[in-house]
Amino acid sequence: MTGLLTILFDNPAFFLVIAVALILSVTIHEFAHAYAAHKLGDSTAKNLGRLTLNPLAHLDPLGTLSLLFLGFGWGKAVPVNYYNLKNPKKDAAVISFAGPGSNFAMALLLTVGVKIIEQILIPGEGFPNTGLSLIIRGLIYPIILYNILLGLFNLLPIEPLDGFKIVTGILPPKLSVQWVQLAPFGIFILIFLAATGGISRLLSPAIRLAIEVLGL
């Protein structure tokens, strides 16, 4: 995946659409973490102003730069005080899944919305290739695709991604302790996968399946 700077120079309008899609996807993702933590008894994120849909509260400077230059990035991590949770191990997994889960939910809702609009415009025939239809698809489809991408990327069981914490919460206590010991190697694994194109190879089959299931 090339950096967004390439798209910026080649097609500024398309860059703007993708940038908005990414910002919305990251914002929804991080808000869901904060909301889940709050509902499970920890108000740390809320007290720090993270229980909001304001993108400025969730964008990480380094993650944004990585997105521009490398083609993948991340939002500002939502702080969680696990001592405030009734069941820290299980609740941490739920909080971690809330981020990717919200991205999948948003992708599904937007897809259903587009399908409904299709049926309203031309019942039973789908979108015609008109200017209006192309504009709607051009604006909505990137948001759907990047929500799918962000959700799947964060499910990779590699620290500091959500998938690592989800696995920690699912494993029996003894195995989870051994699993957590792998955390320091996570960032090096991610760098290696990014440098070798491994992330794209890992996610491509799941992305194609999601696109097929949603009928995009």
Give per-residue pLDDT as tens, 57-80: 998 888 777 766 665 667 888 999
Determine if the peptide bond prior to 160 is cis (ω within 30°). yes
Averaged confidence pLDDT in the chain: 86
pLDDT bracket for residue 96 (50, 70, 90): very high
Q: What are 120-173's pLDDT values in tens digits?
A: 765 555 555 566 667 777 788 888 998 999 999 999 999 989 999 999 999 999
Q: How many structural domains comprise the chain?
A: 1
CB-based contacts of 204, cutoff 8 Å, min separation 6: none
Average pLDDT over residues 200-208: 92
125 is catalytic: no
pLDDT in tens, 97-106: 999 999 999 9
CB 193 within 8 A of CB 202: yes
**What's the CA gap between 50 and 31, in Å, rounded?**
7
Handedness of CA 117, 123, 124, 127 (dihedral sign): negative
Rounded alpha-carbon distances, angstroms, from residue 44 to 51, 60, 163: 10, 18, 22
Instruction: Give residue 212's pLDDT.
Output: 92
Active-site residue among 30, 118, 159, 212? 30
Give the domain range for residue 75: 4-214
In whole angstroms, how far apart are CA 148 and each of 27, 118, 119, 151? Answer: 14, 21, 24, 5
**Longest CA pairwise span in the chain (Å):** 59
In this predicted structure, the answer to whether residue 192 has a pLDDT above a threshold of 60 is: yes
User: pLDDT value at position 1?
Assistant: 46
* Contacting residues for 76 by C-beta, under 8 A, at least 6 apart: 30, 50, 57, 58, 59, 60, 63
Rounded to the nearest angstrom, the gap between the alpha carbon of residue 146 and the centroid of all alpha carbons in its chain is 7
Q: What is the pLDDT of residues 44-58, one digit of tens each?
A: 999 999 999 999 999
**Choice among 17-26, 77-86, 152-161, 173-182 with the minimum mean pLDDT:** 17-26
Cα–Cα distance for residue pair 8/11, rounded to 1 Å: 6
pLDDT recorded at residue 73: 66
What is the pTM (predicted TM-score) of this model?
Answer: 0.87
Which band of pLDDT confidence, cut at 50, 70 and 90, is reported for residue 114? Answer: confident
Confidence at residue 5, expressed as pLDDT on a 0 to 100 scale: 63
Nearest C-alpha neighbor of 168 from the set 100, 63, 89, 57: 89
Angle between helices 88-121 and 162-170 in degrees, nearest 10: 120
